[in-house]
Amino acid sequence: MTTNESRPSGVGRKQRQPIWRPVGAVGMLTAVVTEQLKHTRDLLALMEQARPSRPDARIVSDYTVSETLRIYGQMAVHYRSVFAEQGRRWLAEATSNTTIQQAVIAYTKLVDEHLVVLNDLLALAGQVQNHTLEKIIAKNRPGAGTEQR
């Protein structure tokens, strides 16, 4: 899925508008969602190792958490607005081809599944952001938490 984007410089950038794909693109977009879901699950598994409640929690950096929240937050917005809408549009198209209908239904389920995993990842990253390497070092510095006069 691509967007029609105007790139003027400055403050007045135009909103990116989706280019809606014909139903024949369902296989290609399903492959895209499948690959992105795999990467999101992999990152969720890594972030799970940094869950603060784990006794053996790994420590990640502020940068890792902030980029996860930024990038995957944007991805979640796109999945809710563009990918899910593409599926709704395809479902609304009347087609007598059951193979295509089944492919569209599988696509919409995959998009919904990816949204669940994205929401889980973002929630976990939100928990981890207060337990990053930089925050732990700051808490453990000599004099941390004491007032200087």
For 57-85, the pLDDT digits (tens) are 899 999 999 999 999 999 999 999 999 99
Q: What is the pTM of this model?
A: 0.81
Q: What is the pLDDT of residues 82-107, one digit of tens each?
A: 999 999 999 998 678 899 999 999 99
Task: Map out the domains of the chain as residue ranges.
Answer: 25-138
Q: Tell me the C-alpha distance between 84 and 81, whole Å.
A: 6
Please name which of 86, 113, 89 lies closest in space to residue 28, comparing C-alpha atoms: 86
Cβ neighbours around 102 below 10 Å, total: 11
Contact at 8 Å (CB) between 128 and 51?
yes
Cβ atoms 52, 124 nearer than 8 A = no
